[in-house]
């Protein structure tokens, strides 16, 4: 699915991190058990070859510059942010396979730095910021790339393309931190700095910079983020004690504080419109990379202090010490877990042992109560049920004994579905071929090509994929006509008969379903066409009569009197139900739909029943106007019928 | 139906975001709620009304949690809940059925439901994808159901359509926990392939409806087009659904059987 994040890792690096060498098949199996997917086994060179247009010959120099090292592409669940880098993935897998007992606990050390927030300005555009400092980081090329990649992954997923949270990382050694750092929002013209994209030293004012990113092809990777703040009167700015710009969230960092392979102390700042997510993002980066610090797994906290009016309500006392690295204990019932997973024999000891496999440790159990630890890498755990799932995964889903729910229930079909299915059988017996056509259509196909005025009864889309699919159909006829059009090379000599029983959708502000009014309702219809050497008006007429007979609706006296009805004495009819056919008039009860029929060759079907009352129009039929046949490129005279089905229930 | 499942009335293509997403505990910031994936309605743009009390309980669950959950802790917006869309899954109807089951006269009683109907997604169209397709969905609501029950029900269902070897893989859906992807050994393809998705609906979805604490709901779903295309060796979905289907194919189609004697 489009929302599944993918991590690319070198196979050799992964095996080294896991502490053993897996074959591709073995690793695939491990992924299956854990709940991730080995989507592709490839290499830089293979990816390059795949990216070439078909038939193109790669240049030898280009080819040889691409590595042949095997790369795994692993699909990850959308709610596990800790797996988005090799550091987190290998940690999780090592614990799962038993190579490690538990994840390292990150220790917080109070740091001297303060981030002062001017809440009056930031509250208008991007109210939150959380920060952390990692001391003595050792960056080599691999670690550096992993560090950047994790930020990209988080930006794409949890941060919703930087709209919710944006991460800025800085070389603290290049920052003036002799006084408080500052986060505020300023008038775009007044913010000047050299951005990361311009190592040549060109400085820009923020508004000019956004224009540049919106238009310059070399910076097109930044263009999607421009709209996030472009129209705001104030742009968010992170600056140091001397007032130098560190970053312009969520767009770009400054060149001055850029991270290089020589960087030792790192400042991380996450600005956001959602505090919960900002904390998850910062905690994830810290948990994944503090292992590279001089003091491994130690992070230095920063005080975030709101000054001025409009401080957010969810920052108690207008101050926070970040990163939060929130850890909580969660209690769950062992017997409930065993019941959910479906392994009644699971004991408290089993459950504790399984918790340790899935990063929910430390865990302990007293009687029926399990107490486990939900640390900062497990922001996906919202409820004890999340623990139950992880226990199930650790136990192995495919080890669970199959059962079937014991309670007996009675099955059945929805009434209108059953009626439709019964009619399908009968109509097919009459020689009609069934079709299944699209619910989305164009205004032309739904109205004007049928010689009907564009109505206000159709549901229209805000974001149609293209003009062919801009409204939801209010009639089944275009689908049938387009099917005739597509099959025009088939034989029509004996008449082509098609039908469809399906829904149309009409605007309706009164229709209630489950105490909800959305403003539209589905209507089940039957629609059929006959196309052949003659128009076949009497054939579709016959179909209407046949449907009524099948549904136990008798013809009115007036109607019977005009036709040859020998079998009438056998017909079964429901008390109070009857129907009649009347010629469609120009501005008659058939409405504008009957304009599709050749004048004098259209008719309306009127039903009388106890709920509807007397003679309500429920459908129509007739010989289609030749202009319609031209519009749909149908080469033979054609008749059609369309009728509501729910009224016949 | 042979397994005691009652059909759900799914004749409702236009849905509110509330039933399609929020009632399922899918957060308002979820990428599937993007215009890239979902068709939003221009007219009628907004839902007129939803059940008031239930709406408040759903909102609270998203914002603050409850019934053992810490919730999502974000600001739940009414405008987002009231945005009309073309339903992206029939689970929107399943949600309504469970709500009705919880609030019916006499209270909750165990039930099995199924549906087979159309859904709409704003996906990139290619040989195997259109913006409309059909989903098959089944659910069982009963006391103390387990993953074992879910696996057993799924196996019974797939056995009936000719797939007898199954494996289950941990997965993630916003509205089910645990979640499992269903893999089957396909007799025609002679390979293992993903054949469906399944899970147990989250308590955050069930409790605001008023379903009792020990009632669990297991559910599974699959697309209708994909297994059909595999069984009949159809390469392009347009050969199966829509006005470009060849009448010749329809006229020569065999009766659908899964019980060949070979």
ipTM score for this prediction: 0.93
* Sign of the C-alpha dihedral computed for residues B125, B130, B131 and B135 taken in this order: negative
Nearest to B132 among A438, A463, A464 (CB): A438
Find the helix packing angle between A275-289 and A86-97, rounded to 10°. 70
Classify residue A59 as left (phi > 0), alpha (psi -120 to 50) or beta.
Answer: beta
Q: Half-sphere exposure of residue A345, counting CA atoms within 13 Å on the CB side?
A: 4
User: Which chain B residues are Cβ-neighbours of A433 within 8 angstroms?
Assistant: 247, 250-251
pLDDT of residue A563: 67
Confidence of residue A1 (pLDDT cuts 50, 70, 90): very low
Nearest to B172 among A77, A407, A463 (CB): A77
Closest CA to B82 of B122, B113, B119, B41: B41
Question: Chain A: residue nearest B1 by CA?
Answer: A411
Contact A485 B178 (CB under 8 A): no
Q: Does B26 touch chain A (CB under 8 A)?
A: no
Nearest to B171 among A35, A520, A522 (CB): A35
Nearest to A472 among B2, B13, B68 (CB): B13
CA distance B170 to A37: 10
Contact B47 A521 (CB under 8 A): no
Q: In Å, what is the CA distance from A87 to each residue of A37, A90, A283, A290? A: 17, 6, 14, 10
pLDDT of residue A591: 84
User: Which chain A residues are Cβ-neighbours of B12 within 8 angstroms?
Assistant: 513, 521-522
CA distance B115 to A381: 31
The mean predicted confidence, pLDDT, of chain A is 93
Contact B4 A274 (CB under 8 A): no
Nearest to B149 among A404, A438, A516 (CB): A404
CA distance A194 to A479: 59
Classify residue A170 as left (phi > 0), alpha (psi -120 to 50) or beta.
Answer: beta
Task: Provide the shortest C-alpha distance from residue B229 to chain A (in Å).
Answer: 15
pLDDT of residue A385: 96
Q: In Å, what is the CA distance from A412 to each residue of A121, B3, B5? A: 61, 10, 7
CA distance A90 to A641: 64
A106's enclosing H/E stretch is none
Question: Chain A: residue nearest B170 by CA?
Answer: A35
Confidence of residue A196 (pLDDT cuts 50, 70, 90): very high
Contact B42 A460 (CB under 8 A): yes
Contact B29 A274 (CB under 8 A): yes
CA distance B252 to B262: 22
Contact A340 B200 (CB under 8 A): yes
**pTM given for the model:** 0.91
DSSP string, B210-242: T--TTEEEEEEEEESHHHHHHHTT---GGGTSS
The angle subtended at Cα B137 by Cα B12 and Cα B46, nearest 5°, is: 30
Q: Which of residues 179-238 of B touch A (CB under 8 A)?
A: 179-180, 200, 202-204, 216, 218
| Residue B236 buriedness (CB in 10 A; 0-12 / 13-18 / 19+) | exposed
CA distance A391 to A381: 13
Closest CA to A104 of A324, A299, A270, A269: A299
The phi, psi pair for A598, rounded to 5°, reads -60, 135
Contacts of A68 (CB under 8 A, 6+ apart): A43, A44, A45
Contacts of A459 (CB under 8 A, 6+ apart): A471, A472, A505, A506, A507, A520, B14, B41, B43, B44
Residue A587 confidence (pLDDT) above 80: no
- Per-residue pLDDT of A517-562, as tens digits, reads 999 999 999 999 999 999 899 999 999 999 999 999 999 988 876 6
pLDDT tens for chain B, residues 1 to 262: 778 899 999 999 999 999 999 999 999 999 889 888 899 999 999 999 999 999 999 999 999 999 999 999 999 999 999 999 999 999 999 999 999 999 999 999 999 999 999 999 998 888 888 899 999 999 999 999 999 999 999 999 999 888 889 999 999 999 999 999 999 988 777 888 899 999 999 999 999 999 999 999 999 999 998 888 887 888 888 888 888 888 888 888 887 777 766 5
Q: Does B255 touch chain A (CB under 8 A)?
A: no
Contact A469 B8 (CB under 8 A): no
User: Which chain A residues are Cβ-neighbours of B111 within 8 angstroms?
Assistant: 409
Question: Chain A: residue nearest B50 by CA?
Answer: A516
Q: Does B55 touch chain A (CB under 8 A)?
A: no
Find the helix packing angle between A348-357 and A334-341, rounded to 10°. 70
Cα Rg of chain A (Å, integer): 35
CA distance A405 to B143: 9
Contact B132 A3 (CB under 8 A): no
Taking one residue from A and the other from B, the number of pairs with CB-CB distance under 8 angstroms is 274
Question: Chain B: residue nearest A4 by CA?
Answer: B172
The answer to whether A419 touches A645, Cβ cutoff 8 Å, is yes
Task: Provide the shortest C-alpha distance from residue A43 to chain B (in Å).
Answer: 24
Q: CB B153: neighbour CB atoms within 10 A?
A: 25
Q: Does B22 touch chain A (CB under 8 A)?
A: no
CA distance A597 to A534: 15
Contacts of B204 (CB under 8 A, 6+ apart): A382, A383, B25, B61, B65, B67, B69, B71
* Best residue in B125, B139, B148, B208 for a mutation probing chain A (most A CBs within 10 Å): B148
In this prediction, residues A396-422 reach a mean pLDDT of 92
CA distance A372 to A385: 13
Contact B152 A518 (CB under 8 A): no
- Per-residue pLDDT of A447-475, as tens digits, reads 999 999 999 999 999 999 888 899 999 99
Question: Chain A: residue nearest B84 by CA?
Answer: A518
Contact A459 B243 (CB under 8 A): no
């Amino acid at each position: 699915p489009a929302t599944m994040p993918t991590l690319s890792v070198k196979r050799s690096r992964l095996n080294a991190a896991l502490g053993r060498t897996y074959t591709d098949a073995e690793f695939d199996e491990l992924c299956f058990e854990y709940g991730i997917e080995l989507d592709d086994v490839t290499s830089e060179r293979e990816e390059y070859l795949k990216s070439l247009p078909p038939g193109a010959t790669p240049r030898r120099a280009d080819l040889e510059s691409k590595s042949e090292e095997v790369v795994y592409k692993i699909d990850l669940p959308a709610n596990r942010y800790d797996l988005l880098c090799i550091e987190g993935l290998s940690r999780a897998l090592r614990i799962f396979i038993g190579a490690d007992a538990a994840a390292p606990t990150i220790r917080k050390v109070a740091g001297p730095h303060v981030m002062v927030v001017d809440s009056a300005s930031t509250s208008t555009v991007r109210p939150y910021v959380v920060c952390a400092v990692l001391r003595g980081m050792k960056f080599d090329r691999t670690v550096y790339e992993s560090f950047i990649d994790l930020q990209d992954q988080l930006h794409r997923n949890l941060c919703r393309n930087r709209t919710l949270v944006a991460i800025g990382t800085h070389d603290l050694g290049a920052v003036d931190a002799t006084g408080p750092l500052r986060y505020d929002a300023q008038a775009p013209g007044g913010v000047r700095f050299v951005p990361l994209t311009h190592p040549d030293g060109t400085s820009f004012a923020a508004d000019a910079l956004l224009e540049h990113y919106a238009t310059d092809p070399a910076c097109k990777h930044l263009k999607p983020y421009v709209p996030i703040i472009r129209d705001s009167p104030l742009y968010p700015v992170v600056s140091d004690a001397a007032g130098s710009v560190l970053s312009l969230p969520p767009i770009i960092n400054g060149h001055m504080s850029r991270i290089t392979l020589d960087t030792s102390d790192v400042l991380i700042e996450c600005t956001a419109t959602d505090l919960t997510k900002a904390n998850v993002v910062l905690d994830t980066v810290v948990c994944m990379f503090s292992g590279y610090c001089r003091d491994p797994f130690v992070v230095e906290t920063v005080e975030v202090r709101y000054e001025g009016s409009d401080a957010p309500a969810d920052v108690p006392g207008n101050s926070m010490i970040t990163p939060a690295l929130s850890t909580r204990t969660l209690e769950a019932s062992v017997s409930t877990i065993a019941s959910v997973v479906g392994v009644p024999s699971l004991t408290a000891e089993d459950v504790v042992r399984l918790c340790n496999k899935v990063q929910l440790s430390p865990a302990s159990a007293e009687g029926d109560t399990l107490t486990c630890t939900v640390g900062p890498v497990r922001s996906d755990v919202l409820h004890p049920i999340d623990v139950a799932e992880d226990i199930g995964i650790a136990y192995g889903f495919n080890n669970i004994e199959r059962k079937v729910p014991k309670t007996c229930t009675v099955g059945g079909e929805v009434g209108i579905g059953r009626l439709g299915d019964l009619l399908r059988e009968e109509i097919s017996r009459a020689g009609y071929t069934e079709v299944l056509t699209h619910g989305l259509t164009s205004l032309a196909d739904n109205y004007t090509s049928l010689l009907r005025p564009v109505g206000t009864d159709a549901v229209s889309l805000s974001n149609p994929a293209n003009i062919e699919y801009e409204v939801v159909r209010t009639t089944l006829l275009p689908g049938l006509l387009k099917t005739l059009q597509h099959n025009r090379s088939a034989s029509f000599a004996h008449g082509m008969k098609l039908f469809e029983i399906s829904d149309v959708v009409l605007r309706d502000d009164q229709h209630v379903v489950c105490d909800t009014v959305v403003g539209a309702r589905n209507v089940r219809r039957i629609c059929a066409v006959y196309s052949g050497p003659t128009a076949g008006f009497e054939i579709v007429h016959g179909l209407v009569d046949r449907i009524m007979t099948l549904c136990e609706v008798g013809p009115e006296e007036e109607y019977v009197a005009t036709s040859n009805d020998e079998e009438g004495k056998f017909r079964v009819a429901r008390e109070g139900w009857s129907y009649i056919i009347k010629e469609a008039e120009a501005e008659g009860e058939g409405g504008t739909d009957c304009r599709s029929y050749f004048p004098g060759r259209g008719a309306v079907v009127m039903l009388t029943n106890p709920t509807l009352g007397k003679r309500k129009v429920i459908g129509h039929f007739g010989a289609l106007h030749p202009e319609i046949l031209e519009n749909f490129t149908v080469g033979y005279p054609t008749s059609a019928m369309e009728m509501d089905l729910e009224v016949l229930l | 139906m042979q397994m005691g499942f009652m059909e759900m009335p799914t004749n409702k293509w236009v849905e509110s975001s509330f039933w399609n997403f929020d009632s399922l505990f899918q957060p308002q910031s979820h990428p599937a709620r993007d215009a890239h994936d979902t068709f939003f309605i221009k007219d009628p743009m907004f839902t007129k009304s939803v059940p008031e009390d239930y709406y408040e309980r759903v909102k609270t669950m998203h914002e603050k949690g409850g019934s053992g959950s810490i919730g999502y802790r974000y600001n739940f917006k009414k405008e987002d809940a009231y945005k009309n869309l073309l339903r992206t899954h029939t689970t929107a109807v399943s949600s309504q059925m469970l709500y009705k089951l919880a609030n019916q006269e006499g209270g909750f009683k165990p039930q099995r439901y199924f549906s087979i109907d159309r859904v709409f997604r704003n996906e990139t169209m290619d040989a195997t994808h259109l913006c409309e397709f059909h989903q098959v969905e089944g659910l069982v609501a009963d006391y103390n159901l387990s993953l074992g029950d879910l696996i057993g029900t799924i196996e019974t269902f797939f056995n009936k359509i000719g797939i007898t070897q199954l494996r289950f893989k941990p997965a993630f859906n916003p509205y089910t926990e645990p979640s499992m992807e269903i893999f089957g050994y396909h007799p025609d393809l002679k390979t293992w392939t993903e054949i469906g998705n399944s899970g147990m609906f989250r308590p955050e979805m069930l409790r605001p409806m008023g379903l009792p604490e020990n009632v669990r709901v297991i559910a599974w779903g699959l697309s209708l087009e994909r297994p059909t295309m595999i069984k009949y060796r159809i390469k392009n979905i347009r050969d199966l659904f829509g006005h470009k289907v060849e009448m010749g194919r329809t006229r020569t189609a065999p009766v659908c059987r899964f019980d060949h004697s070979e």
